[in-house]
């Protein structure tokens, strides 16, 4: 009886306008309390609590609230983000268009030249050639080149944004402390969840929609490893640079970045691989390429199409990994020679 | 005890009542230190570490000042105050009368570029640059022409015996060679002042001796103002014109190294100097009798040679008597008895004086 009285008071305070329903619900609650044994303790979920006291919102009100909150900030956010991210759409669309429009043999030759330039290894160049020839022969050339184009554009933008951010984080402990939980969030958020707010924000036909999702997911390792690499630069060497009166800019570009380069390169490798992983997921929001074929395989139960496209992705992954690892190895070698 | 031939040079660097306290609020600790609270008590009661305690040193131009102490005595902290790699808590460091501790950021950068160069215990060379570029770094930082900087670096590398290694990377060289690059780098800066922070401590004993000879030889020619940090007394005595001994951030004794060996100020230094080879360390000028009386001499020795040289010259004779000359001028005399007396460690020296004072 005391308990009942106490609870009634509380509910009245919160919900003083709805006398009739409160007394009704209180009776229910009171009954439940009386009959309760330890085993049947109700879950303290919003829905259960709402039954007892309508002042408490239901779970669907909660999700609706989140949605409403998002929709409320959507329009002002879109005004800022839309023009800001428009170049991303242009970059992706432009690259996609260019790589598909240019004859296949020029593209393959160009990729081989690029691979040779960064990796300086005949074996890696031959690997690039054979993988592309294989994909061409099984008629997956266009999808593969689309996937590669998206990965390269998004990877490049990630590196372009991620390295300065990583450098800034290594400079300011405070920035690092604020950024780390955010980076953890980006890394642990299930990849599908990325897409949800973006679908609301932009139209599904815009390529920046998946571009942002890919960059958001892939940018984390390059930021982290740039920060780490610069923080791990030998303190003695930095002290020597200071002792000879080296200005901050020279120290950054002449000492810190070169010495952190192996770690930064490892970050770039990770970023590109993660971009490739995300581009498959992004096919859900109309990203073209091999991911689209995989999706087709799932949705239409076309086993062969899905598996072959999957194989294509694996081959692309091997190719990108080998090229960037060979580049990394070359940089390390120059340094330790 | 300063011999007449040791002229007093103008003072290049002057450290005046320098204090350094490590901790969250170092300034607040100064009154405690002035009230002569010990290092241990300061740590226990206020959680602050006393790094340097009232340091006063004058470093003469063109001389080697050696700062010696065990690890934790604050010697590396002290040398880093000279070019302000560490900010002092209070006190002054004057270089040619300019107060280093109040310089602006730019002023400090200019000072480090133009007036002081440094050699580090762990070499601290840039691993991604060649030996040649490393040696030229000071001039490159100053913005001098690349070609000229590299040319001068080439000259200094030759001077430290590294010609032929210009295009190697530091990791391809041995420790001794890396430190030669470190020295060439400091020399190539062509600054008046060179700071050497335990420069030879990481090297093997034989290479260390080589490097000491190299430094002594370079110094004879270049006459730089050198501040040298070491924990090795033999090294200190070999190089020092002026020796400063630190203990727990405080100077316990400073002056002519010969004098410190002959008259250690307290038992701490006494412990230090007891195990050294006195015959090799002590010079004739420190133990000779200063008189111009003409006597019968068995030979002539230079005032700057070690006692060991005289003993070997005596060739087993215990009653020889030598004329001591400096720059061809008679400055005093020394006999074997004086030498043997000086060879017996300090305690005998103290006890020799004390009974006399009592009686």
Q: What is the pLDDT of residues A290-336, one digit of tens each?
A: 999 999 999 999 889 999 999 999 999 999 999 988 888 887 776 55
Q: Which residues of A touch B109 (CB under 8 A)?
A: 245, 247
Rounded alpha-carbon distances, angstroms, from residue A156 to A222, A276, A327, B13: 11, 12, 15, 53
Nearest of B101, B89, B102, B100 to residue B19 by alpha carbon: B89
Through-space distance between the first and last CA atoms of chain A, rounded to whole angstroms? 85
- d(CA B43, nearest CA chain A) in Å: 26
Q: B297-353 pLDDT, tens per residue? A: 788 888 888 888 888 888 888 888 888 888 888 888 888 888 888 888 755 444 444
The ipTM of this complex is 0.81
The whole-angstrom separation of Cα A269 and Cα A265 is 6
Interface contact B118-A240, CB threshold 8 A: yes
B85 touches chain A (CB under 8 A): yes
Region of poorest pLDDT, from A26-35, A120-129, A265-274: A26-35
Chain B interface includes A262 (CB < 8 A): no
Strands (DSSP E) found in B223-350:
225-230, 242-247, 250-255, 299-302, 321-326, 329-335
The answer to whether A244 contacts B137, with C-beta atoms less than 8 Å apart, is: yes
Say how far apart CA B138 and CA B121 lie, in whole Å.
Answer: 18
| DSSP summary character for residue B159 | H
Q: Decide: A81 and A208 in contact? Cβ < 8 Å.
A: no
- The predicted pLDDT at position A188 comes to 87
Q: State whether residue A102 sits within 8 Å of chain B by CB.
A: no
Would an 8 Å CB–CB cutoff place A255 in contact with chain B? yes
Packing angle between helix A59-101 and helix A207-231, nearest 10 degrees?
90
Among the partner-chain residues A240, A247, A337, the one whose CB lies closest to the CB of B124 is A240
Quick count: other Cβ atoms within 10 Å of Cβ A125?
20
pLDDT in tens, A105-153: 898 999 999 998 988 888 999 999 999 999 999 988 889 999 999 999 9
B252 alpha carbon, distance to own chain's centre: 15
Task: Give the Cα separation of A278 and A214 in Å (integer).
Answer: 6
Work out the average pLDDT over B195-213: 89
User: At a CB cut-off of 8 Å and minimum separation 6, what does B309 contact?
Assistant: B301
Looking at per-residue pLDDT, the higher value among B235 and A226 belongs to A226
Nearest to B250 by CA among B57, B29, B44, B12: B57
CA-wise closest residue to B39 among B69, B73, B78: B73
**pLDDT mean across residues, chain B:** 86
CA atoms of B111 and B100, how far apart (whole Å): 8
Closest Cα to residue A276, out of A331, A315, A329?
A: A315
What is residue B298's DSSP assignment?
Answer: S
Beta bridge partners of B20: B52
* Residues A232, A260 contacting (CB under 8 angstroms): yes
User: Residue B172: its chain A contacts at CB < 8 A?
Assistant: 337
**pLDDT, position B347:** 55
Q: What pLDDT is attached to residue B352?
A: 42
């Amino acid at each position: 009886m005391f308990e009942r009285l106490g609870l009634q008071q509380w509910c009245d305070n919160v919900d003083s306008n709805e006398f009739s329903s409160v007394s009704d619900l209180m009776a229910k609650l009171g009954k439940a309390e009386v009959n309760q044994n330890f085993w049947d303790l109700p879950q303290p979920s919003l829905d259960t609590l709402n039954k007892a006291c309508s002042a408490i919102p239901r779970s669907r009100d909660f999700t609706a609230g989140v949605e409403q909150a998002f929709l409320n900030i959507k329009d002002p956010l879109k005004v800022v983000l839309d023009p800001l991210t428009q170049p991303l759409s242009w970059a992706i669309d432009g690259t996609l268009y260019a790589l598909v429009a240019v004859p296949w043999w020029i593209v393959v030759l160009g990729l081989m030249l690029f691979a040779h330039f960064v990796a300086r290894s005949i074996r890696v160049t031959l690997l690039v050639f054979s993988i592309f020839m294989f994909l061409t022969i099984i008629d997956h050339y266009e999808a593969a080149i689309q996937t590669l184009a998206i990965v390269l554009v998004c990877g490049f933008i990630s590196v372009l944004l991620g390295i300065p951010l990583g450098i800034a984080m290594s400079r300011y402990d405070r920035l690092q402390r604020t950024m780390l939980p955010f980076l953890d969030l980006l890394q642990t958020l299930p990849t599908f969840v990325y897409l949800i707010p973006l679908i609301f924000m932009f139209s599904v036909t815009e390529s920046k929609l998946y571009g942002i999702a890919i960059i958001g997911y892939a940018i984390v390792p390059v930021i982290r490893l740039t920060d780490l690499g610069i923080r791990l630069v030998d303190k003695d060497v930095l002290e020597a640079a200071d002792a000879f009166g080296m200005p901050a800019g020279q120290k950054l570009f002449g000492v810190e970045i070169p010495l952190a380069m192996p770690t930064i390169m490892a970050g770039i490798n990770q970023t590109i691989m993660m971009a490739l992983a995300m581009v498959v997921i992004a096919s859900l929001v109309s990203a073209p390429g091999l991911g689209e074929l995989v999706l087709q395989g799932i949705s239409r139960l076309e086993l062969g199409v899905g598996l072959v496209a999957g194989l294509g992705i694996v081959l692309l992954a091997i190719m990108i990994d080998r090229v960037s690892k060979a580049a990394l190895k070359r940089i390390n070698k120059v340094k330790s020679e | 005890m300063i011999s007449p031939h040791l002229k007093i040079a103008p003072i290049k660097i002057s450290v005046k009542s320098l204090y350094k306290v490590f901790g969250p609020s170092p300034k607040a600790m100064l009154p405690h230190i002035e009230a002569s609270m010990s290092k241990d008590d300061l740590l226990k009661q206020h959680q602050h570490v006393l790094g340097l305690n009232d340091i006063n040193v004058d470093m003469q131009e063109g001389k080697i000042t050696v700062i010696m102490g065990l690890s934790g005595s604050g010697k590396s902290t002290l040398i880093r105050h000279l070019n302000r790699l560490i900010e002092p808590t209070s006190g002054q460091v004057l270089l040619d009368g300019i107060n280093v501790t109040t310089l602006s950021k730019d002023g400090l950068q200019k000072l480090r570029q133009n007036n002081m160069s440094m050699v580090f215990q762990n070499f601290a060379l840039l691993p991604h640059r060649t030996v040649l570029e490393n040696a030229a770094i000071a001039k490159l930082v100053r913005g001098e022409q690349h070609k000229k900087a590299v040319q001068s670096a080439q000259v200094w590398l030759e001077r430290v015996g590294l010609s032929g290694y210009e295009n190697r990377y530091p990791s391809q060289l041995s420790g001794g060679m890396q430190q030669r690059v470190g020295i060439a780098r400091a020399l190539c800066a062509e600054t008046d002042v060179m700071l050497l922070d335990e420069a030879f401590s990481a090297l093997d004993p034989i290479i260390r001796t080589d490097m000491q000879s190299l430094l002594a030889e370079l110094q004879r020619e270049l006459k730089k103002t050198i501040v040298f940090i070491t924990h090795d007394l033999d090294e200190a005595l070999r190089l020092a014109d002026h020796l400063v001994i630190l203990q727990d951030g405080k100077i316990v004794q400073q002056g002519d190294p010969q004098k410190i060996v002959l008259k250690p100020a307290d038992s701490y230094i006494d412990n230090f100097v007891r195990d050294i080879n006195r015959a090799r360390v002590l010079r004739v000028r420190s133990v000779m009798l200063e008189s111009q009386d003409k006597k019968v001499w068995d030979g002539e020795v230079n005032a700057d040679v070690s006692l060991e040289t005289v003993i070997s010259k005596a060739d087993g004779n215990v009653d020889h008597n030598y004329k001591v000359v400096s720059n061809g001028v008679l400055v005093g005399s020394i006999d074997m008895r004086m030498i043997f007396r000086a060879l017996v460690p300090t305690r005998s020296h103290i006890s020799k004086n004390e009974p006399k004072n009592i009686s």
